[in-house]
Amino acid sequence: MLTFAQFGAGRIGAIHAANLAASGQARLRYIVDVNTDAAQKLATKHGARVTNIGTALGDPEVQAVIIASSTDTHADLAIAAAKAGKAIFCEKPIDLSLKRVDACLAAVKKAKMPMFVGFNRRFDPSFAAVKARIAAGAIGNVEQVVITSRDPGLPPIGYLKVSGGQFRDMTIHDFDMARWLLGEEPAEIFAYGSCLVDPAVAKVGDTDSVMIVMKTKSGKLAHINNSRRAAYGYDQRIEVHGAKGRLLAGNQTPTTVELADGNAVSSDKPLHFFLERYAEAYRIELATFVDAVVNDKPLPVTAQDGRQAIVLAEAAAKSLRTGRSVKL
Amino acid sequence: MLTFAQFGAGRIGAIHAANLAASGQARLRYIVDVNTDAAQKLATKHGARVTNIGTALGDPEVQAVIIASSTDTHADLAIAAAKAGKAIFCEKPIDLSLKRVDACLAAVKKAKMPMFVGFNRRFDPSFAAVKARIAAGAIGNVEQVVITSRDPGLPPIGYLKVSGGQFRDMTIHDFDMARWLLGEEPAEIFAYGSCLVDPAVAKVGDTDSVMIVMKTKSGKLAHINNSRRAAYGYDQRIEVHGAKGRLLAGNQTPTTVELADGNAVSSDKPLHFFLERYAEAYRIELATFVDAVVNDKPLPVTAQDGRQAIVLAEAAAKSLRTGRSVKL
Amino acid sequence: MLTFAQFGAGRIGAIHAANLAASGQARLRYIVDVNTDAAQKLATKHGARVTNIGTALGDPEVQAVIIASSTDTHADLAIAAAKAGKAIFCEKPIDLSLKRVDACLAAVKKAKMPMFVGFNRRFDPSFAAVKARIAAGAIGNVEQVVITSRDPGLPPIGYLKVSGGQFRDMTIHDFDMARWLLGEEPAEIFAYGSCLVDPAVAKVGDTDSVMIVMKTKSGKLAHINNSRRAAYGYDQRIEVHGAKGRLLAGNQTPTTVELADGNAVSSDKPLHFFLERYAEAYRIELATFVDAVVNDKPLPVTAQDGRQAIVLAEAAAKSLRTGRSVKL
Amino acid sequence: MLTFAQFGAGRIGAIHAANLAASGQARLRYIVDVNTDAAQKLATKHGARVTNIGTALGDPEVQAVIIASSTDTHADLAIAAAKAGKAIFCEKPIDLSLKRVDACLAAVKKAKMPMFVGFNRRFDPSFAAVKARIAAGAIGNVEQVVITSRDPGLPPIGYLKVSGGQFRDMTIHDFDMARWLLGEEPAEIFAYGSCLVDPAVAKVGDTDSVMIVMKTKSGKLAHINNSRRAAYGYDQRIEVHGAKGRLLAGNQTPTTVELADGNAVSSDKPLHFFLERYAEAYRIELATFVDAVVNDKPLPVTAQDGRQAIVLAEAAAKSLRTGRSVKL
C-alpha cells in the first residue's frame, strides 16, 4: 500500500482520488486545496483528511504525492515533494516556463525522486495497443504520424488568459503523443494558427485552431490538428503509417447502437470529453505509477517527457510568430 | 445502505460481490457456499463473513440476498429468503422445472417480497439504449426481432449433463431479450436444433446449435440463433425492425485499433465472453436492484419474467421433439 | 458474338438489354413484348428489331433467348425456345406451379438445351466473395446461415394478387441463396408469416412479413427474414457461421460520406432497391451466361436450381398453413 | 453528339476513350499517339482512326480534344487545339512550368475556347457529396481540411526523373482538392518532405513522403499528407471540419465482406489504385465536360484551376528548400 497526499481537489483531482480509492494498492491520506470546501468534500468521500502543504509533506508515512492543483503551483510543489522524499505524480504541464521546468527537473534529479508526468493518453487502451503493435513490427518502420485532437468546446476566456496558450495547454498532449509514436525526437517544427471559433480568443492573444507539422532527424513526419470546438464531441484519433501498413485508433462511443431510418444510418457521437473518453486511461495511468513506485520499476512517462512537450510547445509558438521552421 | 447475504462464491458470485463492494449503497455481510475455501476467499476480499444459510437468513440486519449458487438450489433459497423477509436477487434460471418455478413464485408472492431475476443483458448500455429508443418511437411499431447469441466455446460435457439443455441454460437469456424487445408475449414458438460442434453433446441428449422462430398474437416475429462455439469470441447482437426503421446493437471490442496491411484491414475480435462483455451490465443490474429495494421502486425484471423464459424454453424443447409449432 | 432474342421489355428487360449491348460479346437482334411501345423503345435504343415469338425463335441466327416477360409466360417460352434450339436465360421464377416447372424442365432436358435461371444475387461481388471464401476454407465447415432480405416498400396490391405469394415472389431469391451458401439441400422447413405492413395484403391472402428456418440432413441450419417494407431502403445481408469463423456481407451505399454533427454520426442509407444494389450482379450474371454458352462451360445456375427454390417456396407455404415442419 | 480527337493512347487515354464510347453523347474520330501500335489498338477497339496532329485538328468535324499524352506535350497541344477552335479536355498538369502554363492560358483565352483540366477526384461521388453537403450548410463554415493521399507503390525512378517532383506530379491533385473544399485560396503554404521509401528517390532530387500545411486569408487551415507507398493500397480520404460538424469520405473496397475468425475481424483492403478507385469519377468527369460543351454550360474545372494547383506546387517546393512559409 502506497500512502498519498494529493494537492488539488478539482475536476482532475476528483478522478485521481477516486482511482486511488478503488485501486486496492494505494491509500489517500491527505487532500490539500485552497478551496477548502472542495478539499473537505473530496476528503470525506474517500476517507482522507484535509491539511496544508507542510503537514502533508512532513508526514513520513506519506510516500507519494499527486499534484493536480493549478499549473502555476506544479513546479514548486514538485520541488518541495522531491526534497521531502516523496515520489511525484504531476499533472501536465510541469510549468508554462521552460526555465522553471528545468529548475524543477534539476531539484527532482538531485533528490533522486521518481517524477511522473500525467500524459494520460499513453494509457488509453487503444493508443497503447497502437504503440504495442508498432513495437511488435506490425507496420514496419514508422514513417508518418497524424494526430487529430479536437475539444468539444471553448473553455472560458478567463481560463485561456492564464493557460499559457493553445500549444502549452492543449497541444501539449499531442506533442507527447507524437514523440511517443514517432519513437524519435522531432528535429524541426512548423505551425499555423488561427482564431476561427471566437474572436475573443484573438483578443487574449491566443489561437483556437492550429495545424502543426514536425520532422525528425531521420525524416519521419508528424501532423497535429487541433480545434477548441467540435460540434459532435471530443475527437481524438491517431494514425500511424509505416513501411508495411497503417494503424488507426478512433473515437469511442457510449453504445454500439445504430439506427437506420428514412433519413440516414446513424450511430452515437464520440464520448463527450476527456473525463469520459480517458476514464480508463486515468485509472491505468495511476495504477501504473503506483506499481512502478511500489515495485521500483522504471516510470513509463518521466519529467523529461514533460519537459520535451514544453520545448515543442515553445518552438511551435516561435514558428507561429516567425513563419519559419524552428529547429530543436 | 442495503445489507446483503450472498449465496454462491463462484464466478458470477465474485462479480456480484465486487459490484456490491463498489456500489457505495450496499454492504455484503455474509457469504454462504458449500465450497468453504471459495467462500472464505471472497468474504475476506470484501470484508464479509462466511456463514451458513440459517444464520444468514436469521440475521435481522440482512435485508436482501443474492442467490448465485448452483441452479438446483435457487428455488429453495428464494423461498427461504422470502419467508425470512429478505428482498431477492436471483440468478437465472429460477429452476429447470416449471412446476418448481411456480411453487417458488407462489411462496415469494405470499411473503410479499420483491424478487428480481438476473437477466443481466437488459442492463447492457447498448441493449438498454435500443429498448429506450423503441420506447421513444425511433422505429415505430416493432415488427421483427433478430437475436444472435453465440458462445465462444463449448462448456464441459459434465456441465451440459446438469444444465437442463441448451434452451434452459443458454437460450433463456435470448428468450427474455426477445420478450423484452417485442413488447409482447410470444404466442407460438418453433425450434430446430443440431449437434454440430461436438458429437459428445448429442450423447448427453443436448444440442449445441439451434434456430428458433416465435410469433406474437399480433403477428410480430422473432428469431434467435445460438451456437455453443464462435471462433472469434462472444457474439451478442440484436436487430429490431419496425415500421419506421431498424435498430442494431453490435459487439464490443477491447480497442478501436484498425490495422491495414498487405493482407486486409483488420480490427479487434469481440470481447471474449460474458464476464468482459457484460461487466458494465452486471454493475448496473445490481445497482438497479439496490436502488429499487431501497427506494421502494418497481423491479425492472421480476420473477414472472424468469418464469416466462422457462415457459419458452420448455415450449422450444417440445417443438424440437414434435416438429410442430407450440402454442403458448 | 452470341445473337439474342429477348422476351420482355419491362424494367428487368431494360437492364438485360443494356448489359447485352455493353458486353462486347453479344448482340441483341429481337425484342418481343405485348407492350409494343415499350418493345419499340428498347429496340431502338439498342439497335434491335421488334418482332413476334414465331419470328424470333424461327430465325436460325438467334442462338439464345432472354425470358424477362411476365411470370406466367416463362415456362411456355422456355419450352418453345428449347425446341427451337436456343440457349435459355430465364428470369425467376420458372413458374408458380411446380407441375409446370417440371414439364418445362423435361422439355428443356429433352431438347438438350442449356437453361439458366436468373438468381442474380449469386453474382453480387460481395455474396460471390463469401461463397468463394467458404470454398477456400476460411470458416471451416458451414454450420448456420442467416439471410436478411427486406424490400424498401410494398408493391401494388394488384401485383401481389398474381405474384404467387411472398414465398414464391420474394423469398425465392433467399431460398436459392440459402441452398447455395449451405452447400446442402434443406431437408426440413418451417415458416411463420404475418401481415404487419398493410392489412390489404391479408385480404388478398398473402403475408408481408415472414420468418423461415430450415435444416439440412447433416444438421446445418438456416434462417431467412423478409419484410415488404424497410424505411431505410433495400436491406440485403448475409451471415455464414462456420466451425472456424463467420463471414458477413452487408449493404452497399452510394457514397462513403460520414457526417458528425451535434446529433449523431450518420452515413448513407443502403442503395434503394434491386436495380441499384444488383446493377453489377446483373451485368456479371449475363456475362457469365454468355461466356458459358459461347465456350460450352457448365452453367453456374441451372433450371434445377430454379425448381428447387420453388419446391422450398411450396413447402414454406404448406408449413405456414399447417404449423408443422415440412420434410422435403 | 460531340466529335472528339484524342491525343494519347496510354493508360489514361484508354479510360477516356472507353468512357467516350459508352457515353452515348460523344464520338471518338481520331487517336493520335507516337506509339502507333497503342494508337491503332485503341482506335480499332472504339471504331476510331489513327492520324496525326495536323489532320486531327484540321478536321472541321472535330469539335473537342482530349489531351492525354505525356505532360511535356500538353501545353502545345492545348494551344494548337484552341487555335483550331476545339474545346479542350486536358489531363493534369497543364505543364510543369508556370511560365508555360501562363502562355497556354493566354492563348486559350485569346481563342475563347473552353479548357477543362482533369482533376478527376472532384467527380468521385463521395468527394462530390462532401462538397455538396458543405454547400448545403451541413457543417457550417469550413475551418479545417485534412487530406490523406497515398499511392500503393513507388513509380519507376525513370518516371520520377521527368515527373516534375512529388508536388507537381502527385500532390497536385490534393492541392486542387484543398482549394475546392476550403472554398478559398490558400494564402500561405509550408512543406516538409523526406525520402523514406527508397533512397533512389533522393538521388534524383525528389521526395517520397511529404506533409504540407496551408492557411487562407480568413484563417482556414488545410493539411495534406502524401506517401508514394501504402502497403494496403490506394489511401484516399478527406476530412472537412466546420463550425457545426465534420464530414469524412473514406476509401472504397471491392466488397463488403467481413471475416471474423480466431485472429481478428477483417475486411477488404481499399481499391488498389486510381484506375479502380476513380473509375466512376473518370466517367462522370468526361460526361460533365461533354454536357458543358454541348449545352454551353460553365466548366466546373477550368484551366485557371489547373494553374492554381501548379502555383501551390511551386510554392511548396520553395518552402521545402527555404524552411519558410511561402506567401501566395
Distance CA C296, CA C309 (A): 25
Distance CA A313, CA A212 (A): 10
User: Which tens digit of pLDDT belongs to each residue from A255-296?
Assistant: 999 999 999 999 999 999 999 999 999 999 999 999 999 999
Nearest partner of D262 among B266, C307, A294, judged by Cα = B266
How do strand B142-150 and strand B186-194 relate by DSSP bridges?
unpaired
Q: Do A194 and D246 touch (CB under 8 A)?
A: no
Q: Do A267 and C263 touch (CB under 8 A)?
A: no
> What per-residue confidence (pLDDT) applies to C239?
98
> What per-residue confidence (pLDDT) applies to C24?
81
**Residue A22 predicted with pLDDT over 90:** no
Q: Do D250 and C256 touch (CB under 8 A)?
A: yes
Q: How many CB atoms lie within 10 A of CB A176?
A: 22
Distance CA B4, CA B26 (A): 7
- Locus of grid cell 518552402: D319
Nearest partner of D116 among D141, D94, D152, D88, judged by Cα = D88
Instruction: Provide the edge-to-edge strand list for the sheet that holds A115-117.
Output: A49-50, A26-32, A2-7, A64-67, A87-90, A115-117
Nearest partner of B130 among B178, B83, B94, B85, judged by Cα = B178
- Residue A197 C-alpha, separation from nearest chain B C-alpha, in angstroms: 29
Q: How many CB atoms lie within 10 A of CB C129?
A: 18
How do strand D258-261 and strand C245-249 relate by DSSP bridges?
antiparallel
Distance CA A293, CA A35 (A): 29
| C83: confidence class by pLDDT, cuts 50, 70, 90 | very high
**Residue C22 predicted with pLDDT over 90:** no
The C-alpha cell that represents B135 in the structure block: 420506447
**Residue C258 predicted with pLDDT over 90:** yes
CA C217 to the chain's CA centroid: 25
CB contact set of D140 (below 8 Å; sequence gap of 6+)? A231, D242, D243, D244, D245
**A interface mutation test: which of B123, B237, B255, B284 has the most A CBs within 10 A?**
B255
Count contacts between C and D (CB, < 8 Å): 81
> What per-residue confidence (pLDDT) applies to B14?
96
Q: Locate the chain B residue with the closest alpha carbon to C153.
A: B243
A interface with D, Cβ–Cβ < 8 A, is 139-141, 143-144, 146, 148, 150, 188, 190, 192, 194-197, 209-215, 219-223, 225, 227, 229-232, 235, 239, 241, 243-246, 323-325
Residues in chain D where the model's pLDDT stays below 70: none
Q: How many CB atoms lie within 10 A of CB B249?
A: 22
User: Would you call D136 helix, strand, or coil by DSSP?
Assistant: coil
Nearest partner of C152 among C31, C257, C277, judged by Cα = C277
Alpha helices per DSSP H over chain B: 11-23, 36-46, 53-58, 71-83, 98-111, 125-135, 157-162, 166, 172-182, 199-203, 274-277, 279-294, 303-322
Q: Do B256 and A256 touch (CB under 8 A)?
A: no
Q: Locate the chain B residue with the closest alpha carbon to C195.
A: B219
Q: Do A219 and D245 touch (CB under 8 A)?
A: no
Distance CA A285, CA A293 (A): 12
Q: Do B266 and D268 touch (CB under 8 A)?
A: no
> What per-residue confidence (pLDDT) applies to D21?
85
**Residue C254 predicted with pLDDT over 90:** yes
Kindly report the average pLDDT of chain A as a whole number. 97
CA atoms within 13 A on the CB side of B70: 8
Angle A312-A318-A324 (CA atoms, 0-180°, nearest 5)?
105
Radius of gyration of chain A from its Cα atoms, rounded to whole angstroms: 20
Distance CA B225, CA B221 (A): 14
Mean pLDDT, range A34-56, rounded to an integer? 96
| A24: confidence class by pLDDT, cuts 50, 70, 90 | confident
- Residue D259 C-alpha, separation from nearest chain B C-alpha, in angstroms: 9
Distance CA A126, CA B76 (A): 46
User: Which tens digit of pLDDT belongs to each residue from B40-71?
Assistant: 999 999 999 999 999 999 999 999 999 999 99
| B237: confidence class by pLDDT, cuts 50, 70, 90 | very high
The C-alpha cell that represents C281 in the structure block: 450482379
> What per-residue confidence (pLDDT) applies to D305?
97
Mean pLDDT, range A242-248, rounded to an integer? 98
Chains in contact with A, where contact requires at least 3 CB pairs less than 8 Å apart: B, C, D
Nearest partner of D128 among D178, D181, D90, judged by Cα = D181
The CATH number of C121-327, from 3.30.360.10, 3.40.1160.10, 3.40.50.300, 3.40.640.10, is 3.30.360.10
The answer to whether the CB of C265 falls within 8 A of the CB of A267 is yes
Q: Read out DSSP for A72-131?
A: HHHHHHHHHHHHTT-EEEEPSPS-SSHHHHHHHHHHHHHHT--EEE--GGGGSHHHHHHH
Q: How far from A172 is each of A16, A166, D111, D212, CA to CA, in Å? A: 20, 8, 56, 21
**Residue A143 predicted with pLDDT over 90:** yes
Mean pLDDT, range A65-74, rounded to an integer? 96
Q: Do B219 and C196 touch (CB under 8 A)?
A: yes
Distance CA C90, CA C101 (A): 12
Distance CA B168, CA B193 (A): 13
| A21: confidence class by pLDDT, cuts 50, 70, 90 | confident
Q: Locate the chain B residue with the closest alpha carbon to C150.
A: B241
User: Would you call C272 helix, strand, or coil by DSSP?
Assistant: coil
Mean pLDDT, range A99-127, rounded to an integer? 97
**Yes or no: domain B121-278+302-327 corresponds to CATH 3.30.360.10:** yes
How do strand C26-32 and strand C49-50 relate by DSSP bridges?
parallel
Distance CA C41, CA C25 (A): 22
The answer to whether the CB of B57 falls within 8 A of the CB of B75 is no
> What per-residue confidence (pLDDT) applies to C23?
81
- Residue C214 C-alpha, separation from nearest chain B C-alpha, in angstroms: 8
Tell me the residue ranges of DSSP E strands in D33-162.
Answer: 49-50, 64-67, 87-90, 115-117, 142-150
> What per-residue confidence (pLDDT) applies to D22?
81
For A262, the closest of C232, C266, C267 (CB atoms) is: C232
Q: Which residues of C227-251 are buried (b: 16+ CB within 10 A; e: fewer)?
A: bbbbbbbbbbbbbbbbebbbbbbbb
Decide whether B2-113 matches B121-278+302-327 in CATH topology: no
Distance CA C307, CA D203 (A): 67
Q: Which amino acid is at C130?
A: V
The C-alpha cell that represents D200 in the structure block: 533512389
Instruction: Give contacts of A139 with chain D, Cβ < 8 Å.
Output: 231
Distance CA C302, CA C134 (A): 21
Among positive and negative, which fits the CA dihedral A100, A106, A111, A116?
positive
Distance CA C102, CA C95 (A): 9
Distance CA D170, CA D172 (A): 5
- Residue C96 C-alpha, separation from nearest chain D C-alpha, in angstroms: 33
Burial of A118 (0-12, 13-18, 19+ CB in 10 A): buried
Domain boundaries, chain B: 2-113, 121-278+302-327
Nearest partner of B266 among D144, D253, A281, C206, judged by Cα = D253
Nearest partner of A254 among D98, C304, D188, B127, judged by Cα = B127
CA atoms within 13 A on the CB side of A104: 30
User: Which tens digit of pLDDT belongs to each residue from A220-240?
Assistant: 999 999 999 999 999 999 999
B interface with C, Cβ–Cβ < 8 A, is 139-141, 143-144, 146, 148, 150, 188, 190, 192, 194-197, 209-215, 219-223, 225, 227, 229-232, 235, 239, 241, 243-246, 323-325
Q: Locate the chain D residue with the closest alpha carbon to C134.
A: D259
> What per-residue confidence (pLDDT) applies to B24?
81
User: Which tens digit of pLDDT belongs to each residue from B174-229?
Assistant: 999 999 999 999 999 999 999 999 999 999 999 999 999 999 999 999 999 999 99
- Locus of grid cell 491505468: A284
**Yes or no: domain A2-113 corresponds to CATH 3.40.50.720:** yes
Distance CA D223, CA D175 (A): 10
Q: Which amino acid is at B195?
A: C
Alpha helices per DSSP H over chain A: 11-23, 36-46, 53-58, 71-83, 98-111, 125-135, 157-162, 166, 172-182, 199-203, 274-277, 279-294, 303-322
Nearest partner of C7 among C28, C42, C31, judged by Cα = C31
| C292: confidence class by pLDDT, cuts 50, 70, 90 | very high
